Amino acid sequence: VTPRTDATQEVAWLSDAQLAEWRSLVALIMTLPPALDAQLKRDAGLNSFEYHVLAALSEAPERWLLMSDLAALAQGSPSRLSHAVGRLEQAGWVVRRSCPGAGRRIEAHLTDEGLRKIEDESPGHVREARRLVVDALTPEQLAALGEAARIIVDAIEPRCTEHLPPPDR
């Protein structure tokens, strides 16, 4: 596509170099998530989001977390989390209980079976993360990737990055 001189909202087109990098990034976000999903689905019967929910719970104090905090940690909407936790609860890996306090707060807890499940499945997932990313890059390349990722995530949702290392630009 070639740029249109639209008087409505002038937008600078991308240079050839910028376009090439942008396309590489687009290729990444089109292929990496499906690749990770496929490994998890095949080996663990989980999708990426469910895996991250279990992982986040496994690191919480006593494995309890407010649904709203869990949603932020797993980077999903309340609705998406509700559906996912429903499935995880069905499987016996998570339970919910209402918790006294303001609003209609509800806590989710990772059961012993859930802990065993995530412990069983993480080696396979880490192996895939190594194969496709961590071991495929030099430490410098990996660090640069991480830094760029933090800046972009920060540009998307300035407040939802507290749990990540700050982008130092």
Partner DNA sequence: AAAGATTGATGCTTCAATCTTT
Partner DNA sequence: AAAGATTGAAGCATCAATCTTT
Footprint on residues 34-73 left by its own copies (CB under 8 A): 35, 48, 52, 55, 58-59
Beta carbon of residue 121, minimum distance to its own copies (angstroms, whole number) = 9
Identify which of residues 76 and 146 has a Cβ nearer to DNA in the complex: 76
Q: Is there binding between residue 162 and its own copies (CB under 8 A)? A: no
Is 130 a binding residue for its own copies by CB under 8 A? The answer is yes
Task: Map tokens 């001189």 to a residue.
Answer: 5
Of positions 7, 12, 103, 158, contacts its own copies by CB under 8 A: 12
Instruction: Give the binding site for DNA (CB under 7 A).
Output: 34, 38, 41, 47, 49, 66-68, 71, 76-87, 96, 98, 100-106
Cβ closest to its own copies, residue 16 vs residue 101: 16
